[in-house]
């Protein structure tokens, strides 16, 4: 089964940039909010190897997803990196307190996306 990467971001532009950067190597699972991201995990239809997660989204934000991961011990199974435009010290410290792998500040390049995904995958190998 091909490895899949969840991209949870309410911006279609960001989801498209990540999809384009990873196409051919991974199945990209787009989620426009945290609830859709969690649904991919609950359904277990894909071999999810990692997740890129925006913090500011409608309905279920990134911190709700991080809490779900923490409460269900998912961080060791599915590494998470944050993609965000919010680079305030408080937000960064709060996100890293969950055990995320990395933080990608918007805007970012295809190479940065690939590097962060590779870094998350290497954690579990």
**Which domains, from first to last, does the chain contain?**
3-123 (3.40.50.2300)
Asked if residue 58 lies in contact with residue 15, where contact means CB atoms within 8 angstroms, the answer is no
Can you give the pTM of this predicted structure?
Answer: 0.95
Backbone angles phi and psi of 41, in degrees to 5: -70, -45
pLDDT tens-digit series, residues 3-16? 999 999 999 999 99
Residue 81 bridge partners (DSSP):
52, 102
d(CA 57, CA 49): 22
Asked if residue 57 lies in contact with residue 34, where contact means CB atoms within 8 angstroms, the answer is yes
pLDDT tens-digit series, residues 46-71? 999 999 999 999 889 999 999 999 99
pLDDT tens-digit series, residues 84-114? 888 789 999 999 999 999 999 888 899 999 9
């Amino acid at each position: 089964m091909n490895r899949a990467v969840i991209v949870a971001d309410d911006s279609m532009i960001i989801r498209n940039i990540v999809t384009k950067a990873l196409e051919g190597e991974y199945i990209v699972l787009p989620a426009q909010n945290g609830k859709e991201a969690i649904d991919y995990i609950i359904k277990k239809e894909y071999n999810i190897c990692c997740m890129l997660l925006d913090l500011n989204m409608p309905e279920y934000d990134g911190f709700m997803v991080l809490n779900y991961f923490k409460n269900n011990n998912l961080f060791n199974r599915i590494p998470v990196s944050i993609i965000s435009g919010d680079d305030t010290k408080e937000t960064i410290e709060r996100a890293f307190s969950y055990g995320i792998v990395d933080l990608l500040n918007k805007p970012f390049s295809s190479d940065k996306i690939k590097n962060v995904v590779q870094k998350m995958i290497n954690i579990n190998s």
